[in-house]
Amino acid sequence: MKFSKKAIIPISIIAALSLNACTNPTSTAGAHSSFTEGIIMDYEKISINKDQYNDMKSAGVAAMAGAGIGQIIGKDTKSTLVGAIIGGLVGNTVSKLGNSYSDGMRVTVQTAKGPIIVDTLY
Protein backbone atom coordinates (compact mmCIF):
# COMPACT_ATOMS: atom_id res chain seq x y z
CA MET A 1 0.00 0.00 0.00
CA LYS A 2 1.49 3.37 -1.01
CA PHE A 3 0.54 6.65 0.71
CA SER A 4 1.36 10.19 -0.30
CA LYS A 5 3.47 12.29 2.02
CA LYS A 6 0.52 14.68 2.42
CA ALA A 7 -1.46 11.88 4.08
CA ILE A 8 0.98 11.53 6.99
CA ILE A 9 -0.61 14.29 9.12
CA PRO A 10 -4.27 13.17 8.94
CA ILE A 11 -3.36 9.50 9.38
CA SER A 12 -1.09 10.32 12.36
CA ILE A 13 -3.86 12.34 14.00
CA ILE A 14 -6.43 9.58 13.49
CA ALA A 15 -4.05 6.95 14.88
CA ALA A 16 -3.20 9.09 17.90
CA LEU A 17 -6.86 9.72 18.68
CA SER A 18 -7.84 6.07 18.35
CA LEU A 19 -4.87 4.67 20.29
CA ASN A 20 -5.16 7.27 23.05
CA ALA A 21 -8.21 5.48 24.44
CA CYS A 22 -6.06 2.42 25.17
CA THR A 23 -4.35 4.17 28.11
CA ASN A 24 -7.51 4.92 30.09
CA PRO A 25 -7.27 3.46 33.61
CA THR A 26 -10.32 3.41 35.83
CA SER A 27 -10.91 6.38 38.07
CA THR A 28 -10.15 6.04 41.78
CA ALA A 29 -13.13 8.11 42.95
CA GLY A 30 -15.86 5.83 44.27
CA ALA A 31 -13.77 2.67 43.76
CA HIS A 32 -14.35 1.31 47.29
CA SER A 33 -17.67 -0.26 48.27
CA SER A 34 -18.67 -1.24 51.80
CA PHE A 35 -21.49 -0.81 54.28
CA THR A 36 -20.91 1.05 57.52
CA GLU A 37 -23.56 2.20 59.95
CA GLY A 38 -23.22 5.77 61.17
CA ILE A 39 -24.59 9.29 61.33
CA ILE A 40 -23.86 11.86 58.64
CA MET A 41 -22.21 14.76 60.44
CA ASP A 42 -21.31 16.99 57.49
CA TYR A 43 -21.41 17.18 53.70
CA GLU A 44 -19.91 19.63 51.26
CA LYS A 45 -19.54 20.16 47.53
CA ILE A 46 -16.02 19.50 46.24
CA SER A 47 -14.22 19.43 42.90
CA ILE A 48 -12.76 16.02 41.97
CA ASN A 49 -9.93 15.67 39.48
CA LYS A 50 -10.89 12.66 37.40
CA ASP A 51 -7.29 12.32 36.10
CA GLN A 52 -8.31 9.43 33.87
CA TYR A 53 -5.49 9.62 31.36
CA ASN A 54 -1.74 9.25 31.86
CA ASP A 55 -0.38 12.09 29.69
CA MET A 56 3.10 10.61 29.21
CA LYS A 57 1.79 7.15 28.37
CA SER A 58 -0.76 8.55 25.93
CA ALA A 59 1.85 10.73 24.21
CA GLY A 60 4.26 7.77 23.98
CA VAL A 61 1.71 5.42 22.46
CA ALA A 62 0.55 8.07 20.00
CA ALA A 63 4.16 8.97 19.09
CA MET A 64 4.96 5.33 18.36
CA ALA A 65 1.84 5.04 16.21
CA GLY A 66 2.74 8.26 14.40
CA ALA A 67 6.31 7.06 13.82
CA GLY A 68 5.04 3.79 12.38
CA ILE A 69 2.61 5.53 10.10
CA GLY A 70 5.26 8.05 9.06
CA GLN A 71 7.63 5.23 8.15
CA ILE A 72 4.94 3.40 6.18
CA ILE A 73 3.97 6.53 4.27
CA GLY A 74 7.33 8.19 3.67
CA LYS A 75 9.73 5.26 3.96
CA ASP A 76 12.43 7.61 5.29
CA THR A 77 13.72 8.91 8.63
CA LYS A 78 12.26 12.40 8.19
CA SER A 79 8.73 11.04 7.74
CA THR A 80 9.18 8.78 10.77
CA LEU A 81 10.27 11.71 12.94
CA VAL A 82 7.49 13.99 11.68
CA GLY A 83 4.91 11.25 12.35
CA ALA A 84 6.30 10.66 15.86
CA ILE A 85 6.22 14.37 16.71
CA ILE A 86 2.70 14.86 15.39
CA GLY A 87 1.46 11.70 17.11
CA GLY A 88 3.05 12.68 20.43
CA LEU A 89 1.59 16.18 20.34
CA VAL A 90 -1.88 14.95 19.44
CA GLY A 91 -1.80 12.17 22.06
CA ASN A 92 -0.68 14.55 24.81
CA THR A 93 -3.28 17.18 23.85
CA VAL A 94 -6.13 14.67 23.76
CA SER A 95 -5.01 13.24 27.10
CA LYS A 96 -4.96 16.68 28.73
CA LEU A 97 -8.42 17.45 27.36
CA GLY A 98 -9.72 14.15 28.75
CA ASN A 99 -8.49 14.92 32.26
CA SER A 100 -11.15 17.11 33.74
CA TYR A 101 -12.66 18.15 37.02
CA SER A 102 -16.14 17.17 38.08
CA ASP A 103 -18.45 18.15 40.89
CA GLY A 104 -18.41 15.79 43.81
CA MET A 105 -19.52 15.50 47.40
CA ARG A 106 -17.52 14.92 50.59
CA VAL A 107 -19.54 13.29 53.35
CA THR A 108 -18.29 12.95 56.93
CA VAL A 109 -19.92 10.00 58.72
CA GLN A 110 -19.52 9.37 62.47
CA THR A 111 -19.27 5.61 63.12
CA ALA A 112 -18.61 3.50 66.20
CA LYS A 113 -14.96 3.23 65.08
CA GLY A 114 -14.55 6.97 64.46
CA PRO A 115 -15.26 9.35 61.62
CA ILE A 116 -15.13 8.27 57.97
CA ILE A 117 -14.74 10.75 55.11
CA VAL A 118 -16.24 9.70 51.78
CA ASP A 119 -15.51 11.54 48.50
CA THR A 120 -17.76 10.64 45.58
CA LEU A 121 -18.84 12.03 42.21
CA TYR A 122 -22.34 13.47 41.89
What separation in angstroms does the CA of 33 have from each of 2, 54, 81? 53, 25, 47
Q: Model-level pTM?
A: 0.47
| E strand or H helix at 49 | strand 38-49
Q: What is the mean pLDDT of the chain?
A: 75
Of the two residues 58 and 100, the one the predictor is more confident about is 58
**For the purposes of burial, counting CB atoms within 10 Å of the CB of 108, is it exposed (0-12), middle (13-18) or buried (19 or more)?**
middle
Instruction: Domain of residue 62: give its range.
Output: 5-121
Cβ neighbours of residue 122 under 8 Å, at least 6 residues apart?
A: 102, 103, 104, 105
